[in-house]
Chains A and B, each alone.
Chain A
Amino acid sequence: MKQLLILSGKGGTGKTTIASAFIALSDAKAYADCDVDAPNLHLIMAQDLEPERTDYYGMPKAEIDTDKCTECGLCKETCRFDAISKDENFTVDFFACEGCGVCEAICPANAISLKPTVSGELMLYVDSDRVFSTAQLRMGSGNSGLLVTEVKKRMKTAARPDADLAIIDGSPGIGCPVIASISGVDMVLVVAEPSVSGISDMERIIKTAETFDTKICVCINKHDINPANTGRIEEFCRERGLPLAGKIPFDPEAVTAVNNGQTIVDIDCPSGSAVKEVFRNTMELLFA
């Protein structure tokens, strides 16, 4: 099964809009949303199904037993995350604690223990021939990379053996969840936007993806909002030897489609026609 991951660096360039169009066009049997911090793909791809829900346990969190605590302050002193404070008692800031276990290990009174903590929810939608894996990280949680890895693993495990293509929607940025999402995919499609910010972020995501053994191609969304910047992206791709899969125009009808829970290829609109070309080129590169 070939895995195509859609990334952008900058948020709001159209990852989910393009991912959903690709899923519709390819009739993909496996897909996933790795933007566990702000998932949206389920809003247009899974309205009628009830998912199988599983709690996701991230890192445990420290808890102080105030009956045993002798208030020596060693935990507060050694915590690198400023997660322990003293009001009336010594307490752990649930959100600041990263579950490293240093306080538990050094407490002379054995008053601290690490407690398992639910830090997100995994959702798996399965029907007769397709599988959609997604998740939602609890707000304020960290370590989203582990959750992303789990989302992809569940998609691969549940996919039918004859599924030949998986489409994965990624998250913005270049950090932990993005790195976890790139690991093991066959190709990254970067959705660029012709703005100065978009170009800066595109360069950073391409550099990040280049540290992995994966193919990379680029498409330009909303290309007509700034033709000069679109030219700069095309030039950048030529110089770097990165294939350009196509360009999609700015299209207010895309907003209408999304707000009606449709993909842009479900309606007759300029962005929908353009994305078909991008899809064809991307598939050619992916299966080459």
Chain B
Amino acid sequence: MGDKSARIAVLSGKGGAGKTLVSVNLAFLSGESVYIDCDVEDPNGHLFFKPDEVSKEAVTVKIPVVDESLCNGCRTCVDFCKFDALAFIKNRPYVFENICHSCGGCALLCPEKAIWEKDKVIGEVQSGVSHDVIVSTGIMNIGEASGVPIVKHLLNKDVPKDLPVFIDCPPGSSCIVMESIRDVGFCILVAEPTIFGVHNLSMVYDLVKLFAKPHGVVINKCLFGKNPAEEFCIEKNIPILGRIPFDPELGALNSDAKIAARESERFRELFGSLLETVMKEVRHETTVDS
């Protein structure tokens, strides 16, 4: 898995705060690095990197299949399933694949050994390269309920040792975000200067505190006037790693899926100094740890 201390997660709680903007630009400026997009429901980082030599791997989960010639209708499986993914219809168990959590309990407990498990594809992992950046993306199939197995698959892939790894997380603070930050050494929280942004920032802040992850905040889309995100950081004594101004030029580049630090000297400097601050924090945490 490489050196975990150099794994940096970018998360935000709120969607659209700028996770992909920050993680893409930091990975790009790091030169040799790894970018992993864990926002498997709506991955966007690959649209910026446009990686070459893309290889694809299907991600599967186990789904029960009932062998009707062996089933004696005892209902053990239906009674066991806590997710109501099995129902007894016309005296035989019926599997609702989209609700199944793939726990394997029904197959394990069937006294007649009438249940086996097939592999069901729920999405894929794509890996490619963009200049010096290794780009890995998880993509969940439409209609699936949970991308957690895809995130696990993504984060278990071997990456070259000693390269910094930037993990672009899904929004929110639910199980899938937790899975994304499980093994990271540092968390960058991207916040918007609105009361919505602060409310969602406070949630991911609680999450990184719960998991004792070193962290700092990047405030995006800074406008003049009241900045509730900045006030929150000062009040909670959270380090502010950087501020990205609201800037129509940045917005335009970003909306065209262009990597701002590649396109303009000004944004190269902006994200370059952010990267420097982040790496200083990461190194500091690593020294404290060892």
User: Which residues of A does B touch, CB under 8 Å?
Assistant: 8-13, 16, 37-38, 40, 43, 59-60, 78, 80-81, 95, 98-102, 105-106, 114, 137, 139-142, 144-145, 171-176, 179, 193-198, 200-201, 204, 207-208, 211, 225-226, 229, 252, 255-256, 258-259, 261
Contacts and interface: CB of A to CB of B under 8 A. Distances in A.
B226 A259 contact: yes
A247 B257 CA distance: 21
Contacts of A13: 15-16
A175 B16 contact: no
Candidate in B14, B175, B194, B223 with the most chain A CB atoms within 10 angstroms = B175
Contact of A252 (B82, B206, B223): B223
Contacts of A258: 194-196
Interface size classification for chain B: 35 or more
B257 A11 contact: no
B173 A102 contact: no
Contacts of B143: 179, 208, 211
Given A102-B103, A141-B175, A12 B14 contact: yes
B256 A173 contact: no
Given A100-B82, A141-B175, A175-B140, A78 B15 contact: no
Interface stretch (B144-152, B237-245, B271-279, B282-290): B144-152
B256 A225 contact: no
Given A175-B140, A197-B44, 15 more contacts: A40-B200, A99-B82, A142-B174, A142-B176, A172-B171, A173-B41, A173-B42, A175-B144, A194-B255, A196-B47, A197-B42, A198-B255, A200-B44, A208-B142, A225-B251
Contacts of A80: 62, 102-104
Nearest to A209: B142
B108 A106 contact: yes
A185 to B, nearest CB: 17
A158 to B, nearest CB: 24
Interface of B: 13-17, 20, 41-42, 44, 47, 62, 80, 82-83, 101-105, 108-109, 140, 142-148, 170-178, 192-196, 199-200, 203, 206-207, 210, 223, 225-226, 228, 246, 248, 251-252, 254-257
A225 B248 contact: yes
Contacts of A261: 195
Contacts of B196: 16, 40, 43, 258
Contacts of B251: 225
B178 A200 contact: no
B82 A11 contact: no
Contact of A100 (B101, B175, B246): B101
